């Protein structure tokens, strides 16, 4: 499974990238707002740090405008994946931009049917939102599983990019289902290293080591 980090925080991306924990980055208008920076400037900086796909989202609603914005975003760097919403205009944009050789991430996916349409339109990535489905008492992970089965049934090349990940458990379940990629905030990726028994064991080791009176350095 590949890890994308869901943030526009350059420092956080650089830290995880240095550890080999970043295979790509996803951003959206909300994350750009949170960063307080110009979208073109911060996206270019992220692309210089990360060699994998960096998703940059269009904000237009009509296909012609989305296509124009997508081309401008794709010109930032060769590893840009243009992010478009799963609307009819977004699917039209996906078809055009993938036809021109650009990577396209179709986002705001909430059903297997939507994912099927995105694959037919040639999407590079489909981004089903787990947490937002869970928020309305639907099973986000079940949607990931349904998409995996449908894509496998028909040999679609579109990669499942599990998004709206809220916990380390979401990552585990996505890996078991067979999602190609998971995108998560830095805090969730770091939380994957945490376990109460690890902390307890380390505490015991340190206590016993202190009793030896020894030093390594």
Query: Which residues participate in catalysis according to the annotation?
Result: 83
Q: Helix 140-154 vs helix 112-120: angle between axes, to the nearest 10 degrees? A: 40
Q: Are 171 and 206 in contact (CB under 8 A)?
A: no
The vertex-12 CA angle with 185 and 58, nearest 5°, equals 60
Q: How many CB atoms lie within 10 A of CB 90?
A: 25
Strands 181-184 and 2-6: parallel
Those residues with Cβ within 8 angstroms of residue 32's Cβ, 6 or more apart along the chain or in another chain: 8, 39, 42
> Minimal CA–CA distance to 58: which of 81, 79, 77?
81
Segments of the chain assigned E as strands: 2-6, 24-26, 54-57, 80-85, 103-109, 125-128, 159-162, 181-184
**35: burial class by Cβ within 10 Å (0-12, 13-18, 19+)?**
middle
* Cα atoms found within 13 Å of the Cα of residue 120, Cβ hemisphere only: 11
φ, ψ of residue 191 in degrees (nearest 5): -65, -20
């Amino acid at each position: 499974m590949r890890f994308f980090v869901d943030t526009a925080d350059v420092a956080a991306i650089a830290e995880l990238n240095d550890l080999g924990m970043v295979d790509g980055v996803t951003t959206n208008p909300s994350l750009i707002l949170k960063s307080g920076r110009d979208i073109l400037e911060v996206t270019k900086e992220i692309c210089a740090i990360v060699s994998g796909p960096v998703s940059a989202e269009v904000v237009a609603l009509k296909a012609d405008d989305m296509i124009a914005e997508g081309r401008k975003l794709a010109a930032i760097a060769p590893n840009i994946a243009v992010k478009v919403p799963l609307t009819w205009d977004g699917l039209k944009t996906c078809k055009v931009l993938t036809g021109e050789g650009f990577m396209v991430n179709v986002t705001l996916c909430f059903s297997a049917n939507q994912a099927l349409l995105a694959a037919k339109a040639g999407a590079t990535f489909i981004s089903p939102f787990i947490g937002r489905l869970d928020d309305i008492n639907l099973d986000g992970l079940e949607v990931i599983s349904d998409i995996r089965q449908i894509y496998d049934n028909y040999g679609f090349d579109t990669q499942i990019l599990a998004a709206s990940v809220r916990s380390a458990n979401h990552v585990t379940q996505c890996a078991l289902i067979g999602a190609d990629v998971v995108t998560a905030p830095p805090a969730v990726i770091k939380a994957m290293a945490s376990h109460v028994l690890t902390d307890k064991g380390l505490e015991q080791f340190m206590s016993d080591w202190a009793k030896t009176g020894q030093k390594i350095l």
